[in-house]
Amino acid sequence: MVSPLNWGLGHATRLIPIIEELILQGHYVLLAGDGSSLAILRDAFPQLDWQTLPGFNVSLSRRRSQCLQLLLQVPAFLSSIKKEHTAVKNVINQYAIDLIISDNRYGLYSKHVASVIITHQTNPYPGKYLVWMRPFTKRLSTRLLKHFDECWLPDSESKPKLSGTLSSPSKGLITKYLGYLSRINTNIKTNRSSAPDILVILSGPEPQRTLLETILIKQLKGSGLKTTMLCAQPERDKEQIENITLLPHCSPDEYYKLIMNSEHIICRSGYSTLMDLMVCQKTALLIPTPGQYEQEYLAKRASKLFGFSTISQNHLKSKEITHFLSTCSKTMKTVTPVKFKLPLLPPKK
């Protein structure tokens, strides 16, 4: 059973190479999840069985700080872990599952079958003002991760790591490195003649996803720059607003072509998006989700080590986006993408 967290589409799309490899090895694969994440995997693998498995849907604030909003949701988050753990028992019995692969869903483990969790946050970053809490957040994270037989880290085992200190080792955890997880096939030919000047990759939970979309449409509409905006909403219809094309979603091949051929890329600093860009060796202007401290950390790190640029969402209101784009580096600092490799699967219990 393979199940992604329904927090943006990245948790689902980065599971695609894992599922492909499992199928090649002859395994029966059951898709499990909810919302858009499950829809993406069902679309990519229409031949596979699937099961709805409700999870926790986080809600962000419209403000720059998310601390209070996220703290208020902690009881619901812990409750959802218990519900997931109860629900997975029925799925295991119904489909004779002998391995669970969970992407950031902390309740999907079992004492009776091997359980793996995929995460790049074994040591979560609570933000610069709450950095004193990091020993406590690490302890809580380790406690939740120890329910699993193995923890798979989507990153390089060698330095410089894309995830930095977010994936620092935790005592008692069996960890394996996967390399960069990406749905992209880099062997496809591209054609610059039909490419946009600007590619915007939207992602993440609401309402911040829509807030950034609104800001960027206002900034780019009428600019004369051919813009394609990937909206991360598969259920939505395609739209055209003057020079801006809004695509609900696209295939991996089209996604790769857009990344490779666009003059500029604007996106959140979500981990899955960063892995895609690292695989393509393309930089971008990163706009972290306000108050999402993991993204703020990743954006600064990617800017310092890999040639990306970053600005806060609040600064977009003071200057034109084209001003920031003019200062962006288009060259990634020398780094070899670490190709995905499925590790040996844990033995059956």
pLDDT in tens, 131-173: 767 788 888 889 999 999 999 999 998 888 999 999 988 888 9
What's the chain's Rg over C-alpha atoms? Answer: 20
Clarify whether residues 18 and 136 are in a common domain: yes
Residue 254: pLDDT band by 50, 70, 90 thresholds?
A: very high
Q: Decide: helix, strand or coil at residue 295.
A: helix
The reported pTM is 0.90
CA nearest neighbour of 266 among 304, 318, 323, 222: 323
Residue 176: pLDDT band by 50, 70, 90 thresholds?
A: very high
Please give the sequence-ordered ranges of beta strands (E in DSSP) within 133-218, or none if there are none: 150-153, 175-177, 198-201
| Pair type for strands 244-247 and 239-241 | antiparallel
User: Residue 331: inside a domain, yes or no?
Assistant: no
Clarify whether residues 210 and 321 are in a common domain: yes
Taking the alpha carbons at both ends of the chain, their separation in whole angstroms is 15
Contact (Cβ atoms closer than 8 angstroms) between residue 9 and residue 39:
no
The answer to whether residue 336 scores a pLDDT higher than 90 is no
CATH of the domain at 314: 3.40.50.2000
Clarify whether residues 281 and 213 are in a common domain: yes
Give the list of residues 6+ apart from residue 345 with CB closer than 8 angstroms, or none.
99, 114
User: Residue 156: inside a domain, yes or no?
Assistant: yes
User: Residue 218: inside a domain, yes or no?
Assistant: yes
pLDDT for the residue 286: 96
Clarify whether residues 12 and 120 are in a common domain: yes
Clarify whether residues 157 and 302 are in a common domain: no
- Percentage, residues of the chain above pLDDT 70: 91
The answer to whether residue 110 scores a pLDDT higher than 90 is yes
Q: Which residues of 203-223 are buried (b: 16+ CB within 10 A; e: fewer)?
A: bbeeebbeebbeebbebbeeb
Among 150, 177, 204, the domain-final residue is: 177
User: Residue 215: inside a domain, yes or no?
Assistant: yes
Distance CA 185, CA 182 (A): 8
Higher pLDDT, 258 or 186: 258
Clarify whether residues 80 and 171 are in a common domain: yes
Average pLDDT, rounded, for the chain = 88
Contact (Cβ atoms closer than 8 angstroms) between residue 246 and residue 229:
yes
Beta bridge pairs of residue 100: 115
Contact (Cβ atoms closer than 8 angstroms) between residue 308 and residue 141:
no
Residue 335, CB half-sphere, CA atoms under 13 Å: how many?
A: 27
Clarify whether residues 217 and 145 are in a common domain: no
Lowest pLDDT segment from 74-83, 181-190, 202-211: 74-83
Beta bridge pairs of residue 239: 246
Clarify whether residues 299 and 275 are in a common domain: yes
User: Residue 184: inside a domain, yes or no?
Assistant: no
Clarify whether residues 121 and 37 are in a common domain: yes
User: Residue 332: inside a domain, yes or no?
Assistant: no
The answer to whether residue 333 scores a pLDDT higher than 90 is no
Give me the number of domains the chain comprises.
2
Clarify whether residues 69 and 170 are in a common domain: yes
User: Residue 202: inside a domain, yes or no?
Assistant: yes
Clarify whether residues 255 and 226 are in a common domain: yes
Is the dihedral angle over the CA atoms 195, 200, 201, 202 positive or is it negative? negative
Structural domain that includes position 120 = 2-177
Among 130, 149, 177, the domain-final residue is: 177
Clarify whether residues 166 and 65 are in a common domain: yes
